[in-house]
Structure 1
Amino acid sequence: MKLGIFTLLLLLPLASSYNSKVFLFPGESNSAYVRLTPKKPLNLQAFTLCMRVATELNSQRETILFAYRTQHYDELNVWQEKGRLSLYLRSSGDAAMFTLPPLNAFPTHLCVTWDSSTGATAFWVDGRRSMLKIYRRGHRVSPDGAIILGQDADSYLGSFDIKQSFVGEITDVQMWDSVLSAGQIKQLYEKHCDAPSGNVLDWNSLVYQISGNVVEVSELDV
């Protein structure tokens, strides 16, 4: 049976606008990071933060995955530490910690959701939600800070600890000022053509600056 050109086009999968760039952090460092510029200030009473992460670092080690700091506070940090994944909001000691499968050399789609009105907090791993925990109910994330990947800043864009640095790959970073539905997070994990784009950080139109030994590669080239 012969198929016309129009029919063949209908049979092709819908193209996705997914940006294939990857930030590769080759080794431990106290200088390598990527600074991200958000589309709007992080004045947040709720959020969804997602990324794809691959690392072979020991899950017991303190490893920063995402850091947002103002002049005076660590406002929003995500870590792998002590065999758990953790979210810190304006604190270095009080965290929402979750015992989940450790990150590994295969990219993991990782999201964290938080809602100030209830304090409901969860991690999502490859489209699946953890149990909910109540954390920092009534809190607000403050604007006018710096977002960086690869390092934890103990001062504004400085005082990095090499033993907390990230080593591995980070890609597909997205952030919203609301809590996405389970269906939307599953679409993101599956790279569905209808998956939402972040209104705070949008990977497909990301503005960023690389400092130090971070290599930008394309998934299409590896």
Structure 2
Amino acid sequence: MSPAVILFLIVVSTTLAGSVTIKTLVFSTETSTNYVEMIPQRPMNLRSFTLCMRVATELSGRREVILFAYRTRNYDELHVWRELDGRLSFYLAGDPVLFKVPELGALQTHLCITWDSTSGLAALFLDGKRSLSKIYRKGHTVRAGGRVILGQDPDSFLGDFDSDQSFVGEIFDVNMWDTVLADSVIQGIFAGKREPRGNVLDWERTELRINGDVKVATREL
């Protein structure tokens, strides 16, 4: 594994003729070595959250694909997957909640998931459209002290990666809030409006640690 390259995304977005310039990550091949670690702005001790990202992959129908991983030493605290059957899911230290939605593909998709511990309400948004609500892990708390990984599924604190579960494609604009955002705000983020940035993970300011052959490019939203 090549040494980690630390990348700071500090105020990378600029408005030019109505467009927004932003960094994006390209994972070109299936490997067990390429990944990016995101450093949260605050401890991820969460009883509610909204997690959003823009993603595209051509692995549809071939195998399960990890989209986001947050793991402490002993638990998969929050993992987001594209399942083998095409459903999208997320796991909070246990069995998943699954959503039957249009499959991810080569066309860029804006994906958000929301969850609230008090009510147990969980939902998913694709390109601003909300799924049905499901009750999941009522009373649970996501624990702090872990690591956020893009591109791999860590079966230990930071390791035991499996290339058959790795992410291949493009992912960017990953933001996380410690509250459930209103539907209208999520729809505004999808549309490219300058909504409030994530207070747990902010793609414009977060530190990214690049490991292996992950390409960092610049594009316009």
Question: Do they superpose with TM above 0.5?
Answer: yes
Q: Cα RMSD over matched residues?
A: 1.6
The residue type paired with residue 115 of structure 1 is: D
Cα deviation digits, residues 169-206 of structure 1 (max 9, x gap): 0010000000000110011001113x120000011112
Greater fraction of residues in strand: 2
In the other structure, the counterpart of 2:71 is 69
In the other structure, the counterpart of 2:199 is 199
Q: Secondary structure of the residue that 2:124 maps to in structure 1? A: strand
Alpha-carbon contact 2:21-2:219 (below 8 Å) kept: no
Q: Structure 1 residues 211, 129: closer, same or farther in 2, change over 3 A?
A: same
In the other structure, the counterpart of 1:211 is 211
Q: Secondary structure of the residue that 1:219 maps to in structure 2? A: strand
- What stretches of structure 1 of length at least 5 have no aligned partner? 1-11
Shift of 1:20: 1.1
Residue identity (%): 52
Please give the alpha-carbon distance, in whole angstroms, between the structure 1 residues aligned to 2:61 and 2:52.
19
> How many matched pairs?
205
Q: Secondary structure of the residue that 1:187 maps to in structure 2? A: helix
Shift of 1:15: 5.4
Shift of 1:60: 5.3
Q: TM-score, structure 1 length as denominator?
A: 0.89
Please give the alpha-carbon distance, in whole angstroms, between the structure 1 residues aligned to 2:21 and 2:42.
20
Greater fraction of residues in helix: 1
In the other structure, the counterpart of 2:189 is 188
Q: Secondary structure of the residue that 2:204 maps to in structure 1? A: helix
Runs of at least 4 residues of structure 1 off by over 3 A?
Answer: 12-16
Please give the residue correspondences for 1:53-92 in structure 2 after superposition, counting only pairs within 5 Å. 53-59=55-61, 61-81=63-83, 82-91=85-94
Q: TM-score, structure 2 length as denominator?
A: 0.89
Please give the alpha-carbon distance, in whole angstroms, between the structure 2 residues aligned to 1:130 and 1:83.
15
Alpha-carbon contact 1:37-1:206 (below 8 Å) kept: yes
Q: Secondary structure of the residue that 1:163 maps to in structure 2? A: helix
